[in-house]
Structure 1
Amino acid sequence: MHTTLIDATTLSRHLDDPDWVILDCRHDLMNPNAGSDGFAIGHIAGAQFANVDTDLSGAKIGPDGKFQGRHPLPGRAALIDTLRGWGINDDTQVVAYDAHGGMFAARVWWLLRWVGHPAVAVLDGGLVAWQSQGLPMVTHAERRTPGAIAEHASLVATVSAEDVVANLQSQARTVVDARAADRYRGENETIDPVGGHIPGAKNRFFKDNLSVDGRFKNAEELKADFAPLFDSAAKAIMQCGSGVTACHNLLALEIAGLPGAALYPGSWSEWVADPARPVATGA
């Protein structure tokens, strides 16, 4: 069972394995069609396309009429139906990849764990690592027999906006922001209406989890990188712009042997939708 990362060579040996499902998660926050267009041009043999905006996210407006962020979590039942449509069963090994250093594939990794499925891994180095070895690419779409995955106890934790507000007073947890430093400081905000960060949040840009070759750093390097941010991962909250790239930090923590951090799914996009919530700027 692969539960964090898998290399391209190992994945290539399982392209015809009926118990493996490969998901292409390519996406562009500024161009919603970029992922599906790239998939049509060429993808790993046997892969199916997972749309970040529709398959991996839910409705932006909640039942209470409030904005839940740009990529709120899908309903658990809806996600199970989507996973079954991709042919996933309880014993399926799922592998997710993208062309962005795992920025979007980590969302699949986290969502599978959210519904209690541990056998999910991210292709280390993504599509670049695959292509650099000359491994097979195809243009036709894969059709799988529907699966029967069931919902199990969650393997991950989440917090709500209310929890984060309460934490401003208690300071019981450390909030870690996965966005680029300029967005964190409020100097460059092109996606959400307000720039800055949650007061007290620390910055850990998700790309800092990667080596120069685009693969994840090893466990010891990651552990050392996260050490200055908090004493215990179990008392940390990961957030980003919309709850997607925060999953990259959560994956890095798992690789480092530091499990237990929670995801704030709504993240910055939900936070700033309520002007009553405080905003900090600067370093």
Structure 2
Amino acid sequence: MSNDNSTRLLAPSTPLASTQWLADHLGTDGLVVLDATVLDVASPAGGRTWLSGYDQYLVEGHIPGALFAEVLEEFSDPSGRFAFTRPSAEQFSSAVAGLGIGTASRVVVYDTSIGQWASRLWWLFRSFGFENVSVLDGGLTNWRAGERPLEFGHVAAGSVTPDAAFQATAIPGFWADKADVEAVLAGERAATLVCSLPPSDFAGETGARSRLGHIPGSVNVPSGRLVQREDRTLLRGDALAERLAPATASEDPVILYCGAGIAATLGALALTLEGRTAVAVYDGSLGEWSADADAPLVTAAAG
């Protein structure tokens, strides 16, 4: 099938690609499939830590032809004070070029979790002006559920000629910073603050940070409740609207946060599906906020 025809089947504005669509289009010229998995594991010193999903990709299998996207290092700023600080435009351009992605590429991203790593990369792509990117609905879990084939081992990326290289440019509106959140708390800016963490983290009962709880005035929309348990596809219709209701009760812009700006992007994906456009992710999230002893936190369950 030609690349032009696949463009009509998957418009650049489509946030999700189905496993059927991907199965039908694997091998299409210009299609790049990325495994963005990062593993959340127990740390020997206690608590939790993150590891690259690359070994899992090699040994346990991946979608045929899929490349591994190193979100932990190549798509995060290694000099950032907090985990998963978004990269510069220059670093992002270099990372996508290393994966053989150019201006004419069509990108589909997945992970082996509930989709938050894929949505993080999807959000990064869009925030740097690359719109022809989608998240595989249900990720590898849904792909496996359909008994679709897997491939094992490393897949080498293609090359991109200089004239086809993608040059990233930061697009305003995708990210919020600490000052933006402080402006909301001070009443200087209208926005709905949304915590994407589980209810126990929201209430300050659990969490790996030195200071627990949520930012005052926040509502709780856990990203884990936005997907189906069985195949990890995103909810649709009334079911999704009901889960998002605390975030959409007002027409104000939405600022989402979590622990490190990861789970929040899954909420951003869901809100995008619902047609909301004034959505930003607080990149530093609670990793940054809780590190400031003067930044207020509330330890109470959602009302």
- Taking the TM superposition and a 5 Å limit, the aligned residue runs for 1:108-257 are 108-147=121-160, 148-152=165-169, 154=171, 156-170=173-187, 172-189=190-207, 191-213=208-230, 214-232=232-250, 235-257=253-275
Q: Is the 8 A contact 2:190 2:252 kept in 1?
A: no
For each residue in 1:196-232, what CA deviation from the matched residue of structure 2 results, as whole angstroms up to 9, or x when unmatched?
0111111110011112332111144323432333444
Tell me how far 1:77 sits from its aligned partner: 0.9
- Partners of 2:269 and 2:252 lie apart in 1 by 14
Relative distance call for 1:177 and 1:210 in structure 2 (3 A) is: same
Secondary structure in structure 2 of the residue aligned to 1:57: coil
TM-score (norm 1): 0.91
Q: Which residue of 1 aligns with 2:7?
A: none
For each residue in 1:114-154, what CA deviation from the matched residue of structure 2 results, as whole angstroms up to 9, or x when unmatched?
11111111111111111122222111222222331122462
- Partners of 2:115 and 2:146 lie apart in 1 by 18
Tell me how far 1:255 sits from its aligned partner: 0.9
- Partners of 1:76 and 1:159 lie apart in 2 by 17
Residue 300 of structure 2 is aligned to residue 282 of structure 1: yes
- Partners of 2:36 and 2:243 lie apart in 1 by 27
Structure 2 unaligned residues grouped into runs of 5+: 1-10, 42-48
Q: Which residue of 2 aligns with 1:268?
A: 286
Relative distance call for 1:224 and 1:45 in structure 2 (3 A) is: same
TM-score (norm 2): 0.85
For each residue in 1:20-63, what CA deviation from the matched residue of structure 2 results, as whole angstroms up to 9, or x when unmatched?
111111122335346112101111111111122102211354xx
Larger displacement relative to structure 2 (238-247 or 8-17) = 8-17
For each residue in 1:242-281, what CA deviation from the matched residue of structure 2 results, as whole angstroms up to 9, or x when unmatched?
0011000000011111222111100000111111111111
What RMSD, in angstroms, separates the aligned Cα atoms of the two structures?
1.8
Secondary structure in structure 1 of the residue aligned to 2:50: coil
Relative distance call for 1:107 and 1:188 in structure 2 (3 A) is: same
- Write out the 4+ residue segments of structure 1 that deviate beyond 6 Å after TM superposition: none
Secondary structure in structure 1 of the residue aligned to 2:247: coil
Q: Is the 8 A contact 1:116 1:155 kept in 2?
A: no
Q: How many residues align?
A: 276
Q: Which residue of 1 aligns with 2:3?
A: none
Q: Is the 8 A contact 1:172 1:235 kept in 2?
A: yes
Residue 18 of structure 2 is aligned to residue 11 of structure 1: no
Residue 66 of structure 2 is aligned to residue 53 of structure 1: no
Relative distance call for 1:73 and 1:233 in structure 2 (3 A) is: farther
Tell me how far 1:83 sits from its aligned partner: 0.6
Kindly, what percent of the aligned residue pairs are identical? 31
Q: Which residue of 1 aligns with 2:39?
A: 28
Q: Which AA in structure 1 matches 2:278?
A: G
Q: Which residue of 1 aligns with 2:115?
A: 102
- Partners of 1:228 and 1:199 lie apart in 2 by 15
Structure 1 unaligned residues grouped into runs of 5+: 62-66
Q: Which residue of 1 aligns with 2:46?
A: none
